[in-house]
Structure 1
């Protein structure tokens, strides 16, 4: 199979298993493998055994793995594996934290095996694993770089291991919000979210939901601006965002000066919402992976919002100006208006859910 025939989501997964298929590496005799940042795909289903554990914090990807019959979860802190597979992300600090985690979970004499697309930071990733764990072996396949190391105790840089593991700890970003490297707009306030926050009406009240809440900026702004909100539910598919979101909501509730119940949920919004709301706010994602627009995600958020709103409820969203959401909104709501179009974004209010 050539690289052109593989989807961008699975090309690295296909390349990851080349050293095993070619005999350069062997699967552990005890069948125990940890797969960090795991993705579902044919090659994984072909290779995986009952002793494999797949760690994946993005809810839709975790669900794909479970539907394929793979074991999904988190290893115990002291659990060690003879083989640790890694599909590192592009963001370098997040990737370094993942390498540190892989090394910590590698058994004595074990192997850490990683793969990254050439255009997704592969050269830096290989250099980072070598710096942390010692000499690496590498090969190229499907426009990806596959590299592995045997991180024996005398090779591992212990100080660097601790430093890189700490990259995954929540930290305050430049705007004063708790966040983590690799989250959407993790080190700043996203321009689109700030635009939506600035145009939210002060009379939002009752139960509110934030769809695709990220680290919780928009929800914090709702509490700061809308004194009649009694409860707010944050829905986010990326598990790494949940802890920062909780920390930011604790601070927002304190600063609001009134009793508000704030709840953070690990949830795939595209599957619908379990509760009903008086108002819903959202800066929906428009791409799930890579850099290509995927407006279907935004349309799924609109459908979820319409299904969960009370008859008199309102939906407030922000989106890139070029994304074609108006027809979808008009099909689900009686009233749709563009509140502002600015800096390449549009804020839209929708009311009157259609039956």
Structure 2
């Protein structure tokens, strides 16, 4: 979200902020909400780092519908954007303003085009390579509400979760290369909706599996997809999570972008986090895009590192015996 568009909309009267609570859906770390009265804002996001960030700034973060108005920060995935708009429209009092903001590169123009035939769309503000507009809350978008999908092998997913249509290629490659036996305590770091976790629990030797996932919707899916008493579910920032005790195995397919641009620092941070939670004889199994520069970080974090498989897009690394650092 661009604060310039929000400030301009308020200054020019395109959005007359009402009394009462305003829900802000899916702001990200770095988004500036200071144009809104903090004491009347409720930040709603299922992404744990963003949730914790805004809570630390003093924003209310627990749902408190109905709302007098809502601001939806549109995500890139269209199905997710639609479901958020439907959710906001249902949570705001009838006729209250539902404002949405998004970048052109993230598909805001396509959403605007769809909305024109469904709601009374107000004036569209264009600024800073994005657009902001509003419409009155009502039942018109009920059919956009996020509906769960059941995909191959009975997995349940929701709009907006990573790889909602099928298990991603990297995770399938990693699963095919996991050994027949794993350590007794395992962490699936960035577990998503549970594809890898189910594969892990099918291996011998596993007595406990911690599923760590920052996206609440994905973790809710994982709770349904992984029905096993050995599984423990954690809505947590993978970079800050610490297990109850050091673990023998970490399995991960770390994210490498939060926008359209690749950000290898995310994967590097996952490697550092994995090292800290592992026992001295621990083993990491990691899949990543072939072009990402993780080799030096793995060598610095583990005593032994080897590639155990690859295809044209991904490679799977096995790293053992984490180095102890201060």
Tell me if both proteins adopt one fold, taking TM over 0.5 as the criterion: yes
Residue 100 of structure 1 aligns to a residue in which SS? Answer: helix
Quick one: which of 184, 194, 199 aligns to 1:216?
194
Cα distance in 2, alignment partners of residues 143 and 270 from structure 1 = 31
Q: Deviations over 1:163-215 (max 9, x none)?
A: 222xx243212453111122111101111111110000011031111001111
- 1:18 is aligned to 2:8: yes
**RMSD across aligned C-alpha pairs, in angstroms?**
1.8
What corresponds to 2:175 in structure 1? 197
- The 5 Å alignment of 1:326-341 reads 326-341=295-310
Is structure 2 residue 198 aligned with structure 1 residue 228? no
**TM-score for both structures, normalised by structure 1:** 0.86
Query: Relative to 1, partners in 2 of residues 1:135 and 1:305: Cα closer, same or farther, differing over 3 Å?
Result: closer
Contact kept in structure 1, 2:5 and 2:125, CA below 8 Å = no
4+ residue runs over 6 A deviation = none
Alpha-carbon distance in structure 2 between the residues aligned to 1:44 and 1:117: 17
Partner SS, residue 127 of structure 1? helix
2:251 maps to which residue?
A: 281
Deviations 1:101-132 (A, max 9, x none): 11111213311111111121112212333444
| Matched-pair contact (CA < 8 Å) for 2:212–2:235 | yes
2:88 is paired with a residue of what secondary structure? Answer: helix
Q: Is structure 2 residue 85 aligned with structure 1 residue 85?
A: no
Cα displacement (A) at 1:134: 2.9
8 Å contact from structure 1 (residues 233, 263) kept in 2: yes
Q: Which residue of 1 aligns with 2:122?
A: 136
Question: 2:135 and 2:107 mapped to 1: Cα distance?
Answer: 18
Deviation of residue 261 (structure 1)? 1.2
1:74 lines up with 2:63 in the alignment: yes
What 5-or-longer segments of structure 2 have no aligned partner?
none
- Report whether the alignment pairs 1:300 with 2:269: yes
Task: Please say if residues 74 and 108 of structure 2, whose CA atoms lie closer than 8 Å, have aligned partners that are also in contact.
Answer: no
Rounded to whole Å, the distance in 2 between the matches of 1:70 and 1:285 is 27
Work out the CA distance in 2 between the residues paired with 1:200 and 1:40.
35
Map 1:332-351 onto structure 2 (within 5 A): 332-351=301-320
Pairwise mapping of residues 33-44 of structure 1 onto structure 2 (< 5 A)?
33-41=22-30, 43-44=32-33
Mapped to 2, the partners of 1:42 and 1:177 lie a distance apart of 34
1:264 & 1:170 partners in 2: Cα distance?
A: 20
Matches within 5 A, 1:95-244: 95-151=81-137, 156-157=139-140, 160-161=141-142, 163-165=143-145, 168-224=146-202, 226-244=203-221
Counterpart of 1:60 (choices 49, 56, 80) is: 49
Q: Within 5 Å, which residues of 2 pair with 1:309-328?
A: 309-328=278-297
CA distance in 2, matches of 1:317, 1:119: 30
Distance 1:238 1:49 in 2: 24
SS in 2 for 1:47: coil
Decide which structure has greater helix share: 1
CA contact (8 A) 1:15 1:141 kept: yes
Residue 40 of structure 1, CA deviation: 4.7
Q: Check the 8 A contact 1:173/1:187 in 2, yes or no.
A: yes
Aligned to 1:264: 233
Query: In the alignment, is the contact (CA less than 8 A) between 1:87 and 1:114 conserved in 2?
Result: yes
Q: Is the 8 A contact 2:83 2:159 kept in 1?
A: no
2:191–2:212 contact (8 Å) kept in structure 1: yes
Q: In structure 2, what is the Cα distance between the partners aligned to 1:273 and 1:95? A: 32
8 Å contact kept, 2:99–2:134: yes
Q: Is the 8 A contact 2:191 2:197 kept in 1?
A: yes
